[in-house]
Amino acid sequence: VAVTYIEHNGTEHKVDVDAHMNLMEGATLNMVPGVIGMCGGICSCSTCHCYIPPEWQGRIPEAAAGELGTLESVTHRKANSRLGCQITVTEEMQGLVVHLPADQG
């Protein structure tokens, strides 16, 4: 599944992510800078923070309570903030674009 991660500075990384992986794994396995995934994807570190553009909002499952709780502590939070490890990639996400924050502070 083709996913494009766009760093805060505009650098684009178009990579292929296996379906059933999550967006944090897709970024870290492909060495995309700006995604850390420190907790390994258990929704506790928030270092997989990313932004989903409006055109993709309706096509991605909404955040569960646990994800929203962890998002409360991220810096650079926006209305479209998500945790990459909580979004499982599916074939329907072909062409997905994910924006990354300035840092995972």
List residues binding ligand FES (CB under 6 A). Answer: 24, 37-39, 41, 43-48, 70, 83, 85
The residue (of 70 and 81) whose beta carbon lies closer to ligand FES is: 70
Least Å distance between CB 84 and ligand FES? 6
Residue nearest ligand FES, Cβ-based: 85
Helices (H), 1-105: 23-29, 54-57, 65-71
Sequence-distant (≥ 6) Cβ neighbours of residue 61 within 8 angstroms: 87, 88
Least Å distance between CB 95 and ligand FES? 23
C-beta neighbour count of 61 within 10 angstroms:
10
The residue (of 39 and 97) whose beta carbon lies closer to ligand FES is: 39
| Structure-block tokens of residue 79 | 């209305």
